[in-house]
Amino acid sequence: MDEPEEDSLTELASRTEKRYSSFRKGERKQMIDTLHDLIEESGKRATSQYTPSKERVRWVKLTGQLIWYKDHVLRNYDFERMAIEVQQLKKRLDEDEKSKTPVPSFPPLQEWRKPEPETVDEKKPENKEPEKAEKQEPGLYPESE
């Protein structure tokens, strides 16, 4: 593809995405407003003294389901908004990488090695006490001199 053709396709996709996003915002707002009205009405019917007790349970259940659905719609909106923000951050990162000079890499961190097992020559005899215990320092215990 030619460069101008690719730019026009990118621009067209961008405009289409913006229109689709604005359409979804409008539909979502209308849906949330309708759900809010339904929640209020079902809540009134659930607590009304004129509602028969058999029907109150149904109205309470409906109110709970409507609240759950409204919450679900709002969560999906949050995830959609985060996805858009991630795309914007990726674009900014790509632009920054293109404009900046490469960052020098740091040397790798020092690796810690496991201690090597002691050889037979280096092992201390098990029954022998340390040398310091064999020789007493003079002056510490005057009775023992």
Q: Where are the domains of the chain?
A: 3-99
Taking the C-alpha atoms of 121, 124, 125 and 129 in order, what is their torsion angle to the nearest 10 degrees?
150
**For 145, which DSSP code?**
-
pLDDT in tens, 74-120: 888 888 888 888 988 998 888 888 877 666 677 777 777 777 777 76
Angle at 94 between CA 99 and CA 5, to 5 degrees: 95
Residue 42 C-beta-side C-alpha neighbours within 13 Å: 17
pLDDT in tens, 34-78: 999 999 999 999 999 999 999 999 999 999 999 999 999 888 888
> What secondary structure letter does DSSP report for 135?
S
5 to 1, 11, 12, 95: CA distances (angstroms): 7, 10, 11, 21
Q: Give the predicted TM-score (pTM) of the model.
A: 0.51
